[in-house]
Amino acid sequence: MLAAILTICGSFMFTACSTDNNAEEEGEFRTMLKSLDWGTDTTFVYGHKTPDVDAVCSSLSYARLMRTLGYNCKAKVSGAVNRETEFIANLFGFALPDLKSNVIPQTRLILTDHSEYAQSVDGAKEAVILQEIDHHAEGDIPDSIIPYVRREMIGATCTIIYEMYRELGVEIDDETARILLAGLLSDTRNLTKATTQYEDSVAWVALVTQLHLEDRVDEISRQMSEASNNYYGMSDIDIFLSDYKEYDNIGGKAIGIGSLDCKASEMEDFINRMLAVMPQVMNDKNLDMLFAKIDNKVPNPDESNPDDLFVDDGTYFIYCGEGSQTVADSIIGPSLREGVAYSKEKISRRQIVTMLTELMERLQ
């Protein structure tokens, strides 16, 4: 894999920071930072609620960057991290952020990997948001109210932050490299997700090479995937919410979307269990509609690649709430049965949000 990606990326990663334009942009960025209203207390850096690896690692690595540049920033999480995050933090040997589930008014914040108030730390609406670093579309936290926003529609927020280290000429030590690589591996599934872009491949090559993980990265990615699908001892509601995001206003509706994986041999029972808890999740979170994508895992027919025991074979899409079947049938296709649709193509949550937004706007 590494050789193929090196061929694609060429020498970009060694020359990206060498132009006069980049030097000018670096100066403008540093000047912008000096102009921000930092206040006198710590600025907290948060990823989204139900924090996954990219949310946690982007907040950690960006807080490190800000501290290197002289600003008092510290990463926090607003909820418990998932099992994949615990696994890779233990494997790579970095400490997870402390839990701080809410902030008081006028707290200075930097947001990573999200752009929705519903996904942000409680109290964010009364806080002062200084920056946002994200790889999703603009949400209901308007870019116009944030002094600095960097948004790139690529595979991982950690890739954006890797780029920023390089552009600013800040050395990436090995621990920071491990943090950045963890987020990149998770959110691109080792460069296999449809949302993966050229920039992710460039960062992947640089970080894997620096850490001398060429012979281990595929196995590490497989172990991360296994950890993310380890639901042992969890209630069905906890499973549903293990990778879950809320959107307060898609076409005037409050919508939740979960993201799950399941082996094809266990899919029917798994879908039934998730459908059974969805009404309670809707009620607890006061939602109008609730959806989840479940990637269908089948045995890898290529026995020569032991690091990838399963591959994706489409995505199941389950739904609950008034009007949700109309939505599902419109963006995915006719339902297989009540509450369940299926796409032959693997679809990401980001793609679902885009399709949902476009559909809801047309229906208004």
Would you identify the CATH topology of the domain 2-221? inorganic pyrophosphatase (n-terminal core) (3.90.1640)
State the pLDDT at residue 361.
Answer: 84
User: Each residue of 83-114: pLDDT tens digit?
Assistant: 999 999 999 999 999 999 999 999 999 999 99
State the pLDDT at residue 14.
Answer: 33
State the pLDDT at residue 267.
Answer: 94
State the pLDDT at residue 87.
Answer: 98
State the pLDDT at residue 362.
Answer: 85
State the pLDDT at residue 13.
Answer: 36
Question: Please, what CATH class does the domain formed by 236-363 belong to?
Answer: alpha beta
Q: Token pair for residue 300?
A: 């890898």
Q: Token pair for residue 105?
A: 């008014």
User: Each residue of 291-334: pLDDT tens digit?
Assistant: 999 998 877 666 655 556 566 678 999 999 999 999 999 999 99
Q: Is the dihedral of CA 305, 310, 315, 320 positive or negative?
A: negative
pTM: 0.86
CA 82-85-86 angle, to 5 degrees, is: 85
Sequence spans of domains, the chain: 2-221, 236-363
State the pLDDT at residue 297.
Answer: 82
Rounded to 10°, the helix 217-228/174-188 angle is: 60
Q: Which residue has the tokens 């309670």?
A: 280
DSSP per-residue letters across 181-238: HHHHHHHHTTTTSTT--HHHHHHHHHHHHHTT-TTTHHHHHHHHHHHHT--TT--HHH
State the pLDDT at residue 363.
Answer: 78
* pLDDT < 70: residue spans in the chain: 1-21, 300-312
